[in-house]
């Protein structure tokens, strides 16, 4: 009977020892990748597309029907209000000049001195963005001779879900499709109150004035990609957005604990750019967090040449 009790006791001791050894040498569960909290610039933005457009576009049409004698400006020309941009002859002068020309140089000169051409005047100061005529062209009062812009701006179409984040004076970055490697900056100066319905999507036009005026390479109707800066922190404390989880209405991150299960920590968030989340409270510089679902590889782990069936290199 004593032998049976002793054997049973010894068995329990061996089983306990095995469980202790197994627990001590058990590999920790792969809980995720551990990273350090970082500092750096972070921006919350709203993306939109639009185009370069004149702030005020003015079309110049002739006051009379006739023929263009000579145009004096071209696209890109900077003109002042009241400047002559073309000379033209009325229909009556065209008939007289053509008849005088057939009579010889003296007759033509006499009629040119007594019957002057009609000037076409620039109504505003600005840039010529369209020349729609050539010398000798016949025109009437409905013909657009030139189009002018007082200055170029950028008009962005912002989705109604984002328009509430846009405000006057908000900074923006502008990149044109035609010049993807050039970035201009500007500020919002007008938000239109009437939306535009395109394929059941409501957008609102937002006007941006480029800082220092439109760059020289801007041309009307060029496609623009606009990034509105909603919030900006040059030295934000942040973690990857995938490290933050929602639990019971609170933002939670997992903190690694040596030789133990990770702990949950509640954090408050600031700027969220879709990739990273700013941490306002709950973490500090030097803290670590776990990104669930990513494999954690120890930094100092070394692979044995004999592992996974590998062959040991022969020494030379």
Across 68-86, average pLDDT:
95
Is the pLDDT at 138 greater than 50? The verdict is: yes
pLDDT, position 293: 67
Read off the pLDDT of residues 226-264 as tens digits, 9 standing for 90 and up: 999 999 999 999 999 999 998 888 999 998 888 778 889
CA angle 240–280–247, rounded 5-degree value: 65
| Nearest alpha carbon to residue 69 among 30, 103, 116, 106 | 116
- The phi and psi torsions of 166 (rounded to 5 degrees) equal -90, 140
Rounded to an integer, the average pLDDT of 301-313 is: 39
Superfamily of domain 45-54+152-232: Efflux pump adaptor protein, beta barrel domain (2.40.30.170)
Alpha-carbon gap, residue 271 to 45, rounded angstroms: 9
Helix (H) or strand (E) holding 40: strand 38-54
- pLDDT tens for each residue of 176-232: 999 999 999 999 999 999 999 989 999 999 999 999 999 989 998 999 999 999 999
Q: Which single residue is written with the structure tokens 């005020």?
A: 56
**In the prediction, which pLDDT does 10 show?**
53
| Residue that the structure tokens 């202790």 belong to | 20
Whether 45-54+152-232 and 57-149 share one fold: the answer is no
**What's the confidence (pLDDT) of residue 65?**
96
Q: What are the residue ranges spanned by the domains of the chain?
A: 33-42+234-291, 45-54+152-232, 57-149
Judged against a pLDDT cut of 80, whether residue 154 lies above it is answered with yes
CATH of 57-149, one of 3.30.60.50, 3.60.20.10, 1.10.150.120, 2.40.50.100: 2.40.50.100
Average pLDDT estimate for 41-60? 94
Q: Could you tell me which residues come within 8 angstroms of residue 147 by beta carbon, excluding any fewer than 6 positions away?
A: 57, 58, 59, 60, 128, 129, 130, 132
Top-level class of domain 33-42+234-291: mainly beta
From CA 115, how far away is CA 113, in angstroms rounded? 6
What Rg value do the Cα atoms of the chain yield, rounded?
Answer: 38
pLDDT above 80 (res 16): no
- Find the mean pLDDT for residues 53-77: 95
DSSP output for 213-279: S--TT--TT-EEEEEEEEEEEEEEEEEEGGG-EEETTEEEEEE--TTS--EEEEEEEEEE-SSEEEE
């Amino acid at each position: 009977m004593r032998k049976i009790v002793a054997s049973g006791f010894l068995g329990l001791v061996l089983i306990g020892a095995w469980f202790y050894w197994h627990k001590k040498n058990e590999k920790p569960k792969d809980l995720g990748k551990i990273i350090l909290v970082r500092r750096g610039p972070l921006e919350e933005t709203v993306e939109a597309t639009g185009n370069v457009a004149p702030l005020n576009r003015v079309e110049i049409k002739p006051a009379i029907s006739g023929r263009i004698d000579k145009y004096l400006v071209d696209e890109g020309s900077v003109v002042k209000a009241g400047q002559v941009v073309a000379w033209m002859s009325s229909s009556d002068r065209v008939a007289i000049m053509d008849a005088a020309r057939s009579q010889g140089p003296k007759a033509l000169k006499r009629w040119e001195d007594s019957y002057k051409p009609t000037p076409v005047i620039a109504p505003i100061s600005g840039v010529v963005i369209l020349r729609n005529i050539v010398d000798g062209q016949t025109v009437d009062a409905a013909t657009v001779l030139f189009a002018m812009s007082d200055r170029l701006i950028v008009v962005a179409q912002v989705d109604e879900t984002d328009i509430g984040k846009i405000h006057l004076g908000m900074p923006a970055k502008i990149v044109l499709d035609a010049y993807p490697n050039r970035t201009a900056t500007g500020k919002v100066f007008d938000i239109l109150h009437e939306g535009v319905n395109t394929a059941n999507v409501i957008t609102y036009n937002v006007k941006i004035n480029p800082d220092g005026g439109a760059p020289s390479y801007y041309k009307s109707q060029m496609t623009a990609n606009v990034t509105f800066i909603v919030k900006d922190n040059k030295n934000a404390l942040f973690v990857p957005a995938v490290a933050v989880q929602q639990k019971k209405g609170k933002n939670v991150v997992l903190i690694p604990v040596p030789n133990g299960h990770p702990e949950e920590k509640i954090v408050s968030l600031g700027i969220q750019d879709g990739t990273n989340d700013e941490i306002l409270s709950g973490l500090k510089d030097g803290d670590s967090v776990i990104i669930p679902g990513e494999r954690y590889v120890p930094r100092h782990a070394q692979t044995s040449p004999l592992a996974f069936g590998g062959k040991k290199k022969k020494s030379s």
